[in-house]
Amino acid sequence: MFRIFVAVSALFFSGTVHAKTPDPENWEAVVAEAKGETVYFYAWGGETRINAYINWAAGEVKERFGVTLKQVKVADTANVVSKIVAEKAAGRDENGTVDLVWINGENFVSLKEADLLLGHPWATKLPNYRFVDEEGKPTVKTDFTVPTDGLEAPWGMAKLVFFYDIARLQSPPKSMPALLEWAMDNPGRFTYPQPPDFLGSTFLKQALYELAPDPQVLMQPADDETFSRQTQPLFVFLDELHPLLWRQGRAFPQNYGTMRRLLADSEVDISFAFNPADASSAISAHELPDTVRSYVPEAGSIANSHFLAIPFNANAKAGAMVVADFLMSPEAQARKQDPNVWGDPTVLDVAALPEEDRARFDALDLGVATLPPEKLGLALPEPHASWMERLETEWARRYGAGQ
Amino acid sequence: MGAALRSRPIIPARPKLDRPRSRLIAFPITVLALLVLPVAAGLLGAALPAFGYLPVLGLEDFSLKPFVALLGAPGIGVSLALSLCAGLCTTTLAFLVVTGFVAAWHGTRVFRALRRLIAPLLAAPHAAAAFGLAFLIAPSGLLMRALSPWASGFDRPPDWLIVHDPAGLTMTAGLVVKEIPFLFLMALAALPQVEAEPRLKMARALGYGRVAAFLFAVLPPLYAQLRLPIFAIIAYACSVVDVALILGPTTPAPLAVRILEWQADPDLSLRSLAAAGALAQFVIAFLAISLWLALEWLVARIGAKLTTSGRRFRRDGFLRQLTGVTMSLSAGLVFAGLATLALWSIAGFWAFPDVWPNALTLDTWRHLGASLSRPLDNALLIAALSSFLAVVLALGALEYEARTGGTVTTRALVTLYLPLLVPQIAFLFGLDMLLVALRFDGRLLAVILAHLVFVFPYVLLSLSQPWQALDPRYALIARSLGRGADAIFWKIRLPMLARAIATATALGFAVSISLYLPTLLIGAGRWPTVTTEAVALSSGGDRRITAATALVQACLPFFAFTLAALLPALLFRRRAAMRAGG
């Protein structure tokens, strides 16, 4: 009986000791606490380049801060959400298995709304956050129009960019109406990933922005009336486009990986990605021919950011903060932007960086198929998350069940 | 082996023994204790949200709303039909090809040749075989490249809907070529137990053709042994996810894929829809098995009529050719697919319609090599321990029954097949919750336990039929010679079942190697294996990576199956009569 009592109280006390959340405003204390911790970083593992970059970061944080960083490679961030939900349901409020997770958009919104994230604004208090470009890159503060409230640390930028092979196509269509016209002359040469794949959904959002009577409305939550009015031209467009798609729209590629493959095999003439440097990286990995180039629609294109978040019950919170801060540092961000490493655009305001750090970015060769930042066009904001949900549901109803 | 022993009646009478107690009862009890709780937790975790109960997400009222939502999901009828058809068509085709081939070629050189090919065929994971098939037969695949443009006239891939066809034909084909080796293996393990040779000789002597002799005289007892594996194939093909993702229709997809999508949706309220789908999946598997039983009844009736009709079916040359060709074709497709994967794994840029890549490079393997050594160790450790444990437990439970003369516990063990009928993702949520609550997840032991939940049914499946078919009179003779129960187990049953035991171990090993979600979720990411790496890496869609990781994944089970094929022969090389069958 006594032993059980001891065991239970040990459990209780060890719980309370860890329950003190590290405060990034007292950074030295965070770094001190982090030393010796092991951070399990759940991150999508589908790209060897990205895994290698995280591996590099692991070596750096080990050397500089004594933090052991372990990437848990997942195929789908939803699996991580499942794990956190299961832990919450089982009452494990401490010593969770996930310390840091690579996340954005709807997964973030879900975790935030279910109170499954570390519940105070830690990210904006990280030392390196002062270099983040809040003005020029407003999406670092709002994830799918939902304020991040400092619950996730910006890690990289994404922007929708289209690719084509100049060996087969000279002047690609730069708007949705032009795309439809082009598809009439070239049936079977275009497609997009099946929503709710995030890239497929992004294509729908892009088309919605270009075709909606009043794109401003998209920033507000959708209701039945605004939704049907704003999306009416979109669905007219899709109804016309689908028979002209690859496989007559009777099958869709699953994700971006398949899109890249279709372009490489010349099954389609146009592909697109959410990373402006993607084609350059893919060329160096032998995945695309070196005649591929990129362009952005005349109206601009959808842009957003991706982030790092700490779950509510993370075991190594201080270590996770140290890692997130390091990944936000000019040095780590510059390396990440190098297309030979990864090619993911920085969240920092490069112009405002100290001379030495700015030089790191200036020295980068962005690659043959990457547009320079000034040619990337207008960054369109993500519509309010409610539009996405409705769009996906409506798409599944109209096109997801066969014709 | 004595000739007298061979002339036993077709249906052996189980000797009536009084039911002595045995301390071996520890085995079935351990199995039930170790596995029933996880299975129950998994099933509850899958079922409760289907009725609207998932408190952590604020769902606390029991209702049927998730089912209403499920029935309202667009294209759900087609999804359900696709799953049901995939299950039944795959099983029917695989069964026809395997029995046809075994009937027509049993005891020939061709038969022995294909028997030797079975290890690599079985070892290739379903996903690898599916990718291989896709890279081969897609409009931009290797076959079309070989024909273009000189024969086909295409300088770009034609816009043909072969892979992902709406009726799921390619998906079914992909499943069939992988289930054929599995069923063939099960038949090979069972053949020695049904004493095919004397039966065949008798039927041939009565003037029946080769195929007819097999179908009338050997198939009935053989089929009795194949029944459980067949149910497993039905359940698997109904609920398969990876093959369906790679080859299956997308508008709409089969049910299991849609469940996965709902479960993976960032909108957490869809979890209850996914749970309702999981129960529907369960019903579909059940329905498919019932339909199969109805079919079985019908065929048995027709068979009985034919058997007594007096016809001898001597002219079966065409049937022999047909079964030989289909069997070789199906094996050939898998091998050609694997070869295509091997080529992709060393390819530089490879444009259509080139038959050969621009350049060959080891980049892919170099990238992988560094990151795979620990996952390789983990996979080996987990698979070896879980398959060994499963075989020991299964043998213990079976031996307990042999000594006590009952079948009660094995009937209870049937409940352990339930996890195979429920989609893994839905099942694992409850299991994970249990282990998290016990503060047990993330440990090696927890991962092995979770693997055991999936490995044990397959091991028991492949062991129990050969075990029960072993002639009980061997034991009686040993007993009359004064040997005790332990000696009978170690000296008679174990050696005589060596092949079946080796096969079961290899199968358990292969199942363990292939598990992705249990390893990731229950292992909390602490125990990366080749499969967790492979699945994560191939989510990027790069064909080179996909190909290389699929080949790595195939290697471990390949060695296991090769070992399983060689070991019994080596152990008993002085006892030629043990090399039964084939």
Nearest-Cα residue of chain A relative to residue B520: A74
Question: Burial of B312 by CB count in 10 Å (0-12 exposed, 13-18 middle, 19+ buried)?
Answer: middle
* pLDDT value for B272: 87
DSSP 8-state secondary structure symbol assigned to residue A249:
G
* pLDDT value for B11: 44
Distance CA B45, CA A38 (A): 31
> Band of the pLDDT at B20, cuts 50, 70, 90?
low
CB contact under 8 A, A82 and B528: no
Q: For B409-432, what is the mean pLDDT?
A: 75
> Band of the pLDDT at B55, cuts 50, 70, 90?
confident
Phi and psi, residue B142, nearest 5°: -65, -40
β-bridge partners, A305: A157
* pLDDT value for A323: 97
CB contact under 8 A, A251 and B165: yes
3-state SS track over B547-582: HHHHHHHHHHHHHHHHHHHHHHHHHCCCCHHHCCCC
Model ipTM value: 0.84
Q: For B21-28, what is the mean pLDDT?
A: 78
Phi and psi, residue B318, nearest 5°: -60, -45
Q: Are A367 and A293 in contact (CB under 8 A)?
A: no
Separation in Å, CA A45 to CA A12, A77, A282, B275: 36, 10, 16, 27
- Residues of chain A contacting residue B524, judged by C-beta atoms under 8 Å apart: 40, 83, 97
Separation in Å, CA A113 to CA A119, A218, B269: 11, 21, 12
> Which residues lie closer than 8 Å to B234 by C-beta, 6 or more apart?
B87, B88, B90, B91, B285, B288, B289, B292
Separation in Å, CA B387 to CA B38, B124, B230: 18, 18, 21
Nearest-Cα residue of chain B relative to residue A395: B74
Highest mean pLDDT among B66-75, B119-128, B264-273, B480-489: B66-75
CA distance B573 to chain A (A): 46
* pLDDT value for B264: 79
Q: Are B207 and B314 in contact (CB under 8 A)?
A: yes
Three-class SS state of A272? strand
Which of B80, B365, B520 should be substituted to probe chain A, the one whose Cβ sees the most A Cβ atoms within 10 Å? B520
**Percentage of residues of chain B with pLDDT beyond 70:** 93
- Residues of chain A contacting residue B515, judged by C-beta atoms under 8 Å apart: none
* pLDDT value for A132: 95
Nearest neighbour of B437 by CB, restricted to A90, A106, A287: A90
| Number of CB pairs, chain A paired with chain B, less than 8 A apart | 200
Q: Are B94 and B176 in contact (CB under 8 A)?
A: yes
Report which residue type is found at A129.
Y
CB contact under 8 A, A72 and B541: no
Evaluate if residue B3 carries a pLDDT over 80. no
* pLDDT value for B5: 37
Q: For B155-178, what is the mean pLDDT?
A: 92
> Which residues lie closer than 8 Å to A271 by C-beta, 6 or more apart?
A162, A163, A164, A259, A260, A262, A263
CB contact under 8 A, B539 and A75: yes
Evaluate if residue B14 carries a pLDDT over 60. no
Nearest neighbour of B161 by CB, restricted to A74, A247, A256: A247
CB contact under 8 A, A265 and B352: yes
* pLDDT value for A13: 39
Q: What is the mean pLDDT of chain B?
A: 85
Question: Burial of B140 by CB count in 10 Å (0-12 exposed, 13-18 middle, 19+ buried)?
Answer: buried
* pLDDT value for B508: 94
Which of B71, B267, B352 should be substituted to probe chain A, the one whose Cβ sees the most A Cβ atoms within 10 Å? B267
What confidence tens digit (pLDDT) does each residue in B276-294 have?
Answer: 998 899 899 989 999 999 9
CA distance A354 to chain B (A): 35
Q: How many CB atoms lie within 10 A of CB B436?
A: 25
Phi and psi based region of residue A150 (left: phi greater than 0; alpha: psi -120 to 50; beta: remaining) = left
Q: Could you tell me the two tokens for B413?
A: 């063990």
Distance CA A154, CA A303 (A): 14
Closest CA to A79 of A101, A94, A96, A99: A101
DSSP 8-state secondary structure symbol assigned to residue A103:
E
Nearest neighbour of B75 by CB, restricted to A97, A248, A400: A400
* pLDDT value for A47: 86
Evaluate if residue B569 carries a pLDDT over 80. no
Alpha helix segments (H runs only) across B349-443: 363-371, 373-404, 408-413, 418-421, 424-437
CB contact under 8 A, A44 and B166: no
**Strand ranges in A55-127 using DSSP code E only, listed in sequence order:** 68-74, 100-103
- Residues of chain B contacting residue A76, judged by C-beta atoms under 8 Å apart: 264, 539
CB contact under 8 A, B267 and A260: no
Q: Are A39 and A68 in contact (CB under 8 A)?
A: yes
Nearest neighbour of A400 by CB, restricted to B251, B432, B541: B251
The C-alpha angle A302, A43, A62, rounded to 5 degrees, equals 125
* pLDDT value for B89: 97
* pLDDT value for A403: 55
Higher-pLDDT residue of B209 and B569 is: B209
CA distance B333 to chain A (A): 22
Separation in Å, CA A11 to CA A14, A15, B562: 5, 6, 49
CB contact under 8 A, A81 and B266: yes
* pLDDT value for B369: 81
CB contact under 8 A, A194 and B250: yes
- Segment-wise mean pLDDT, segments of 10 residues, chain A, 403 residues: 41 44 92 96 91 96 97 87 85 91 89 90 95 90 88 95 93 96 96 92 95 92 94 97 94 90 93 91 87 94 94 96 97 93 92 93 86 85 88 92 69
Nearest-Cα residue of chain B relative to residue A385: B267
Evaluate if residue B198 carries a pLDDT over 50. yes
β-bridge partners, A117: A311
